[in-house]
Amino acid sequence: MGQGFFQIGVTLCIVIAITPILGRYMARVFLGEKTLLDPVMNPIERTIYILSGTRGKDNMTGWQYAKAVLYSNIIMGVVVFLLICLQKFLPWNPIRLPAPRWDIALHTTISFLTNTDQQHYSGETTLSYFSQTAALAFLMFTSAATGLAVGIAFIRGLSGRQLGNFYVDLTRSITRILLPISIVGAIALLTLGIPQTLDGPLKLTTLEGATQYIARGPVASFEIIKQLGENGGGFFGANSAHPFENPNGISNFIEIIAMLCIPAALIYTYGLFANNTKQAWLLFWMVFAIYAVLIGVTAVGEYQGNPLVDDALGLEQPNLEGKEVRFGWAQTVLWAITTTGTMSGSVNGMLDSLMPPGGFSTLLNLFLQIVWGGQGTGAAYLFIYSILTVFVTGLMVGRTPEFLGRKIEKREIVLASIVLLVHPIAVLIPSAIALAFPNTLAFLIPPPGYTGSPEFHNISRVIYEYASASANNGSGLEGLGDSTLWWNLSTCFSILVGRYIPIIAILLLADSMTHKQPVPETPGTLRTDSTLFTAVTAGVILILGVLTFFPVLALGPIAEGFKLASGN
């Protein structure tokens, strides 16, 4: 037990150390200040701007920024959908895989376009190398850069700056942040044994004389942007539990750090934009505390093990079901909370095998979306909660709500409310429909050898699928026959609604804040860089998040935990 918690502690300490370094670098990139990469990247970026007709100094309004996001995403989506549908005729397809069904191709395109990467297929048996790299890996860069650009535009708006230019922010996110780190990370993963080849499957003869084919491909480059960009889609069906995606403890550590580094550092970047690093650190520690508590809750549940299994075997041991022996229970716990907190969605073990405390923690992460949140948009959600906290506390004490010296009025509260209300709508409504028809729509698959009725866990499975889609996370509890027309189209609805409506509202809110005149600070101003305000913000986050989804938490992991504790 001690070793497991020590491994978790070391990883968290490194994340804390990286945060100000990367946060300061990202601030320099998006403030247009000099960086070490300028001699290499400036000519490349100028060429991109010339070819695309972009003028770097042209600032956009909120609507213009939102339209740029939508138009670029539509074009990229159409191109990638066609590439997947035509993969049979395209190169880098050594085993001549045919095109997937249209609904799977549509779901895959929308999923990767929106940084969700929810997969209703198995990568090595469905998509060619060309589809995996030229289509999906391409979207892994652009979708992550889109989210990062939106997050930076929102931070600019809160701090009173112009929103900037989406195409410039998109380009800089890729050339200055995602691509350089991915190159270094891919080389590191390659040296650890992750393959990077265009050769076809390896043909081997087993000891029994049978023939075995081992899938491989350009995995190292795919794997690093999958984690760094909080994409999460696996090159193989087993995702990061596959030894070719995550062969050992060092690769596991690198991939966890890759998931955490950008969303954690972006909070510090906000502090530099707002000239208030004190508030940034307070928000960082608030998120870190929630993150650490959820890790602890899940770790205790996994370490205590399954009482039914322990009673049957006559011993006490951690819950090892669904765990990779290369990583053990502790690293699986850390990964599970990290992947659902950062909206990566990748897995190094079966989330479906977590004990009820783990199911509760992972679902809560998907509901809150701020621990640490999506690429760029996670920071935006965090400040949305801060704005609501300013409004609520202002009503309580009779002060005019202000955030960073700008008044919070009806328009800002309406837009903030839209951001927070979209998620439960996109989760609960389709979940209710699917659960109303468990055999024809949800298509629940009972666990092998299970003789009872896993009704509570099945509720968690369905809710999790839609929460993962709407939160643009992409992970799943499995146990669903999700490669059907219903699941593909209904989750597309949740993905699109959960991605683009909040982005539009966030940008309009940022634009509204940009045009507000700063109000001089007075003794009556409610300070947002205090420990008290941060604690109230944490309370607002937990109250809104838990109360909104408490009924499904009670019917899912909480009820399952009580049932397990009763010995049934």
Q: CA-to-CA distance for 176 and 420, rounded, in angstroms?
A: 31
Mean pLDDT of 230-252: 93
Q: Supply the angle between the helices 410-436 and 455-470 in degrees, to the nearest 10.
A: 140
Q: Is the pLDDT of residue 221 over 70?
A: yes
pLDDT band at 447 (very low <50, low <70, confident <90, very high): low
Task: List the one residue out of 211, 192, 146, 166 whose CA is nearest residue 49.
Answer: 166
Q: Map residue 203 onto helix, strand or coil.
A: strand
Task: List the one residue out of 448, 410, 437, 225 whose CA is nearest residue 321.
Answer: 448
**pLDDT value, residue 452:** 41
Q: Is the pLDDT of residue 122 over 70?
A: yes
C-alpha distances in Å from residue 42, one per residue of 24, 29, 82, 176: 19, 12, 32, 10
Q: Rounded to the nearest 5 degrees, what angle is found at the Cα of 386, between the Cα atoms of 380 and 392?
A: 140
* Position with higher pLDDT, 227 vs 55: 227
Summarised one tens digit per residue, pLDDT across range 111-121 is: 999 999 999 99
* Residue with token string 């690293």: 331
Q: CA-to-CA distance for 352 and 123, rounded, in angstroms?
A: 20
**pLDDT value, residue 19:** 96
pLDDT band at 453 (very low <50, low <70, confident <90, very high): very low
The mean pLDDT of the chain is 90
Summarised one tens digit per residue, pLDDT across range 64-105 is: 999 999 999 999 999 999 999 999 999 999 989 999 999 999
Q: Please give the structure tokens belonging to residue 562.
A: 């009580």
Bridge partners, residue 406, by sequence: 403
Give the least confident one: 296-310, 358-372, 439-453.
Answer: 439-453
* Position with higher pLDDT, 471 vs 4: 471
Q: CA-to-CA distance for 366 and 469, rounded, in angstroms?
A: 9
**pLDDT value, residue 445:** 66
Summarised one tens digit per residue, pLDDT across range 482-497 is: 888 999 999 999 999 9
**pLDDT value, residue 446:** 59
**pLDDT value, residue 470:** 96
Give backbone dihedrals phi and psi of 462, rounded to 5 degrees, phi first: -70, -50
pTM here is 0.94
Q: CA-to-CA distance for 106 and 511, rounded, in angstroms?
A: 33
C-alpha distances in Å from residue 184, one per residue of 48, 190, 225, 248, 375: 23, 10, 11, 18, 20
Task: List the one residue out of 111, 46, 152 whose CA is nearest residue 476.
Answer: 111
Q: Please give the structure tokens belonging to residue 405.
A: 């010296």
* Residue with token string 């003869």: 205
**pLDDT value, residue 451:** 41
Summarised one tens digit per residue, pLDDT across range 340-399 is: 999 999 999 999 999 999 999 999 999 999 999 888 888 899 999 999 998 888 877 777
Summarised one tens digit per residue, pLDDT across range 155-189 is: 999 988 999 999 999 999 999 999 999 999 999 99
**pLDDT value, residue 513:** 92
Q: Is the pLDDT of residue 437 over 90?
A: no
- Indicate the length of the chain as a whole number: 568
Mean pLDDT of 13-37: 94
Q: Please give the structure tokens belonging to residue 93.
A: 């397809």
Summarised one tens digit per residue, pLDDT across range 518-556 is: 877 766 677 888 898 899 999 999 888 888 899 999 999
Q: Which amino acid is at 162?
A: Q
